[in-house]
Amino acid sequence: MQRQFALCLLAAALGAGAAWVYQQTAVPHRLTAQEPLLRPPLVRPAEPPPGTPNPWRQAPWAGDPLAGTFAGSGLEDFTPEERTNILVYEKTNRSVVHITTRASQRELLFLEVPAEGTGSGSVLDKQGHILTNFHVVEGAQQIRVTLHTGDSYEAVVIGHDPPNDVAVLRIDAPAEDLVPIELGDSSRLRVGQIVYAIGNPFGLERTMTTGIISSLNRSLPSRGHRTMKSIIQLDAALNRGNSGGPLLDTRGRLIGMNTAIASSTGENTGVGFAIPVDTIKRVVPQLITTGKVIRASAGILRVALTERGLQIATLEPDGPAERAGLRGFRVIREQRRRGPFIYEERRIDRSQADIIVAVDGEKATTPDAFLSLIERHMPGEQAIITVLRGGKLVDVPVTLGAGE
């Protein structure tokens, strides 16, 4: 179920009052008669006499990325920018779905009050798989997906990945009503690139907004004290209900999934964030197949943050790190006698524990950074973990195992 998360990390660039906010429904603002227009309306000149060339008719634009897609549709009457906007929407809007959720919240003693949420999603294939954010459906007891046809279907969650805020639903809908979205490539995105967002802000179905990529490789706090990496920052208007909807390029390809805004009020401030499609392409096949994401694991269960690096505290018994010879804290057991009684005393020896400083040559200064570097690998691959041992740097090859 979608709910607002006011996270603890504040955006310094936005001032002390701004926090990450995940979108959900709210009452839209309406202009009053006292509010001035931002600019006067454009006035189109009168049509010229018959036979006179029409100055408003545009010649086909050779640089239009979707030129010719809808030949004979009358798009030559629009500016190149307008044609691109129209063609992107025509290509993709039928792939966007409206997601509504219901859950019960217990209040007072035995009284349960129903809670409703709303969000967006994208059709992935003709089998009825729907892509959305995990926070849109988290805790939901009932999920319904409405297609572009207006038909609504009961949905089930077949897989979710909370650290990446990704979930996959499935609906039993006719294949002819399902229009899969085309997946793009987020590795080649550039700041300043035009992007489009389609979703259901305030329940207004398949609403499109446009903007540019404001920055790349942002980080957002996630579940379990984890951090989502390589996040796309954009200035296209996102509001409550846009979560889970597609972020598109000028060719109508999915390049990200809209997931959060930075705001102190929950309303759009021009600072939005999207999960890159390359993350989605890595996660979704596993969710469809197994319902969860299998990540590479080094078998290091706990570390202690020190000034010199991450000191290994606990290792998985007979796990990858222990088999590779990495060292954690030692538990020393000693028997003591007090009068007629014998008891066991345990103490922790930290002196021999390795201190992690890097993985594959990249610094690992926090537990989250260490996990992110390990999870670049697949289970069975080898990672080189550099540790400080006895005052010297030692490279230890570790064949990684599998974990969740």
Partners of 211 in beta bridges? 195
Instruction: Point out the catalytic residue in the list 120, 214, 243, 263.
Output: 243
C-beta neighbour count of 140 within 10 angstroms:
20
Structure letter (DSSP) for residue 137: H
Query: What is the distance between the alpha carbons of residues 216 and 396, in angstroms, rounded to a whole number?
Result: 33
Residue 135 annotated in active site: yes
Residue 29 annotated in active site: no
Query: What is the distance between the alpha carbons of residues 201 and 118, in angstroms, rounded to a whole number?
Result: 9
Instruction: Point out the catalytic residue in the list 95, 129, 165, 222.
Output: 165
The SS3 assignment for 93 reads helix
Residue 215 annotated in active site: no
For residues 361 and 259, is the Cβ–Cβ distance under 8 A? no
Half-sphere exposure of 115 (CA within 13 A, CB side): 19
Partners of 342 in beta bridges? 337
Instruction: Point out the catalytic residue in the list 98, 129, 135, 377.
Output: 135
Exposed, middle or buried, 301 (CB in 10 Å: 0-12/13-18/19+)?
A: middle
- The torsion defined by the Cα of 151, 154, 159 and 161, in degrees rounded to 10, comes to 70
Residues labelled catalytic: 135, 165, 243
